[in-house]
Amino acid sequence: MISYDTVSEAVNGLKKRGFDVDFNLQENCIVCHDDKFHVEDFEIVEVYRFEGNTDPSDEAILYAIQSTNGLSGVLVNGYGISADTMSSEMVKKLSIHKP
């Protein structure tokens, strides 16, 4: 796996490698435009975790994701206290792949 120093560097690197759509997190699925993907509709290919040097709110986790319909993209989420609210199924899916 490639090592990145910042979230923006990782996003740019993954986009160059074909992960070119932006996924967003909802409580029980991820979304891209009008498409919704539930836990069985995507796989996590790579995971990167970033920690702020002095501010815990700077923590983020980046997922490289491939959907079952062929979309490849990235999902950025806060980590720890900054994390978005998720269903237990989504928490389990995203926690399987630890950086």
Assess whether pLDDT exceeds 60 at residue 83.
no
Q: Does 2 fall in a domain?
A: no
CB-neighbour burial class of residue 48 (10 A; exposed 0-12, middle 13-18, buried 19+): buried
Q: Does 12 fall in a domain?
A: yes
Q: Does 32 fall in a domain?
A: yes
pLDDT in tens, 16-64: 999 999 999 887 889 998 899 999 999 999 999 888 665 555 688 899 9
Q: What is the pLDDT of residue 47?
A: 92
Q: Does 71 fall in a domain?
A: yes
Q: Does 1 fall in a domain?
A: no
Question: What integer best gives the mean pLDDT of the chain?
Answer: 84
Q: Which residue bears the tokens 């702020």?
A: 52
Q: How far apart (Å, rounded) are the C-alpha atoms in residues 77 and 79?
A: 6
Residues of the domain holding 39? 7-95
Domain count, the chain: 1
Q: What is the pLDDT of residue 38?
A: 93
CB contact set of 6 (below 8 Å; sequence gap of 6+): 50
Which of 71, 23, 80, 93 lies closest to 49 in space, CA to CA? 80
Q: Does 84 fall in a domain?
A: yes
Global pTM exceeds 0.85 = no
8-state DSSP, 23: -
